[in-house]
Amino acid sequence: MPESSEKGPGSTGEQRSRELFWQTLGRLVLLYFVPLILLAVFFQLQYRNVQRDSLRAHLQGLAEHQARTFDLFLRERLVNLGNILGDPRFGADTTWRDLSSFLDELRRASDAFVDLGVVGTGGALVAYAGPVRYTAPVSYGEEPWFRELSAPGTTSVITAIYLGFRDKPHFTIAVRRDQGPSPVILRAALSPERLSEYLTTLEGATEVKAAVVNGTGVLQLSASRMGEPLEASLFTPPATPRRGFVAGGRDSGRPDYAYAWLTETPWALVVVDARSEADAAVPVVLSRPLLASLGVFLFVGVVILVRTRQVVGRQLAVEQHEAELSGQLVHAAKLASVGELASGIAHEINNPLAVIAEEVGVLKDSLDPELADEDDEPVDLAEHLDAIHDAVFRCRDITRKLLTFVRHGEVKVQIHDVHDILDEVLDVLLGNELAISNVLVERSYDRGITGILTDRNQLAQVFVNLVKNALDAMPGGGRLRVTTHLEDGQAAISIKDSGCGMSPEQLEKIFMPFYTTKDPGRGTGLGLSVSYTIIRDFGGAFYVVSAPGKGSTFTVKLPLAAA
């Protein structure tokens, strides 16, 4: 077949190349890219799991380390107060001025100390040094921390953050020493601001945001704007275990965090990855496995494109070669058909030639003086010349149709009336052979079939092959029924003979090249194979129904021109 055996009617080489390119590209993408994508997703998920586990372990480690360090800091503050109680200079008669010197020493140890006071029996403030100026006596007798410290066996206390008499958030830290009949209590206030600043100096503080909360989730300290003291925090660590990690969630609005409970106070130190908010505000940073995967995808994509072009080029070359071979095969089948038609065509031409010879003989006799008779009427030359003229043009039409049928040219797909092609085959090309073979032709055409899109010459070859096979199946004559009808929106052409039929074994092989059921020398075995190829290339279907002794029905289905 010229062009390509895979092209539909009217398609161009460029369209075929483009279709083949995208088909090949799609197959290669499915073959190479899909496994790579699955592997990339798998490794990315594994990497994220490892990264999440690593981050979890890292946060837990930092929480434990910072909790131990902060515990040590608070313990040192208690020791600072205890040292003052053990100082020989400190006594029951310590004045407010003497207490100021001790406050200076405390501030040199840590700037978290705000003030210092001595509390006597019953909770009365005996001496005080600090920024607050009390205008009236102060008693801590009803304060929870005082009652706790007054309990037997309790020597120190650190309170949660509260407002107190000064109406300003602070912590109270106090120690007690029993001296004689009345104990001595030394208390100090710690600055939340200074304690928060201390959190920012701990190891790993640049990697995390730290906060301190109590058992009910009230914020005590915040080092990274995670809220204000005395506010409810997002974090309420569980009481057990003492160290752990809590996964957050988008629904709760809480990020993942690690925690560790302190030993000096009923507080928990909470740490959050400092990158959490940044990750939510900016695009996700590509991980190394993902970058590596993208690199591999890019390389494989280039390889696939190059390989696709190579495959398409080779495929098009193979199709072109197959088309040329198919065209040669079709042409060979045409020549074989012409050889089989030779006797019928010769008879068709002999008839008009006989008419010409007879008319010429009549004219010659009329011009011979010896045969002239005075009583004879003059010969009407126009009548005889018209007969000769008609016979000559009849010969011309027969030879022109034969040459058109056998000509090896390009496929010209146009809209044709399938009934005209059938009549040409049945009346002109094979009319005489059907008549002398004693075959009765019955035609039943559906005139609702307006036209089909095909190549007239090639479709005529298909019908010639089918009718010739029917003639061979009816050596003693018979009936040939040719019908057309609409079926599933297509034109269906059926050629049914009353011949010998075929066995199931023969039906399986009839479309194979060079397979024939005819006697040696009477057939090439190319007719049905070529016909099947022609119909398939025009987007049609070809099937046969046959049984031994019941004849055969060959049906061709072709798309309508409107489709």
pLDDT digits (tens, 9 = 90+) for 162-182: 988 878 899 999 999 886 677
Residue type, 115: D
Look at residue 275 and tell me whether its pLDDT is greater than 90.
no
Residue 160 pLDDT level (bands cut at 50, 70, 90): very high
How would CATH label the architecture of 1-285? 2-Layer Sandwich (3.30)
CB 175 within 8 A of CB 186: yes
Cβ neighbours for 69, distance < 8 A, ≥ 6 positions apart: 202, 203
CB 553 within 8 A of CB 545: yes
Tokens 């146009």 sit on residue: 414
pLDDT on residue 384: 65
pLDDT on residue 412: 76
Residue ranges of domains in the chain: 1-285, 411-563
CB 170 within 8 A of CB 164: yes
Using CA atoms, how far apart are residues 371 and 422, in angstroms rounded to an integer?
49
CB 55 within 8 A of CB 262: no
Q: Does residue 183 have a cis peptide bond before it, meaning omega lies within 30 degrees of 0?
A: no
Closest CA to 108 of 71, 133, 83, 145: 83
pLDDT on residue 3: 37
Closest CA to 499 of 532, 523, 466: 466
Which of the given ranges, 69-83, 392-406, 533-547, has the highest pLDDT on average?
69-83
CB 242 within 8 A of CB 260: yes
Cβ neighbours for 209, distance < 8 A, ≥ 6 positions apart: 223, 224, 225, 226, 271, 272, 273, 274
Would the CA dihedral through 156, 161, 167, 168 be positive or negative? Answer: positive
Question: What average pLDDT does range 306-315 have in this prediction?
Answer: 78
Tokens of 138: 């102060």
Sequential DSSP letters for 209-270:
EEEEEETT-BEEEESSSS--TTSBPS----SSSSEEEE--BTTTTB--EEEEE-SSSSEEEE
pLDDT on residue 280: 38
Look at residue 473 and tell me whether its pLDDT is greater than 60.
yes
Question: What average pLDDT does range 58-62 have in this prediction?
Answer: 92
The pLDDT tens digits for 416-445 are 999 999 998 888 888 888 888 899 999 999
Residue 5 pLDDT level (bands cut at 50, 70, 90): very low
CB 526 within 8 A of CB 514: yes
| CB-CB neighbours of 145 under 10 Å | 21
Tokens of 133: 């100026």
Please state, in angstroms and as integers, the Cα–Cα distance from residue 106 to each residue in 79, 183, 221, 340, 503, following that order: 10, 22, 21, 126, 116
Rounded to an integer, what is the distance from CA 392 to the centroid of its chain? 69
Opening angle at CA 103, ends 102 and 107, nearest 5: 120
The residue count of the chain comes to 563
**What pTM does this model have?**
0.49
β-strand 439-444 against 478-487: which pairing, if any? Answer: parallel
DSSP 8-state secondary structure symbol assigned to residue 159: P
Residue spans of alpha helices (H) in 87-143: 96-109
Look at residue 360 and tell me whether its pLDDT is greater than 70.
yes
Torsion of CA 261, 262, 267, 271, to 10 degrees: -60
At residue 156, φ and ψ (nearest 5 deg) are -155, 160
Please state, in angstroms and as integers, the Cα–Cα distance from residue 135 to each residue in 185, 317, 528, following that order: 22, 107, 122
Of the listed ranges 69-73, 108-112, 338-342, the one predicted with least confidence: 338-342
Alpha carbons within 13 A on the beta-carbon side of 397:
12
> Which residue pairs from 17-21 have beta carbons closer than 8 angstroms and sit at least 24 positions apart in sequence?
17/312, 17/316, 20/312, 20/315, 20/316, 21/308, 21/309, 21/312
Look at residue 74 and tell me whether its pLDDT is greater than 80.
yes
pLDDT on residue 207: 86
Q: Which CATH number describes the domain made up of 411-563?
A: 3.30.565.10
At residue 514, φ and ψ (nearest 5 deg) are 70, 10
Residue type, 450: T
Residue 245 pLDDT level (bands cut at 50, 70, 90): very high
DSSP 8-state secondary structure symbol assigned to residue 123: G
Query: 49's torsion region: left (phi>0), alpha (psi -120 to 50) or beta?
Result: alpha
Element (H, E) at 441: strand 439-444
Using CA atoms, how far apart are residues 32 and 30, in angstroms rounded to an integer?
6
pLDDT on residue 268: 95
User: Mean of the per-residue pLDDT values for the chain?
Assistant: 80
pLDDT on residue 279: 47
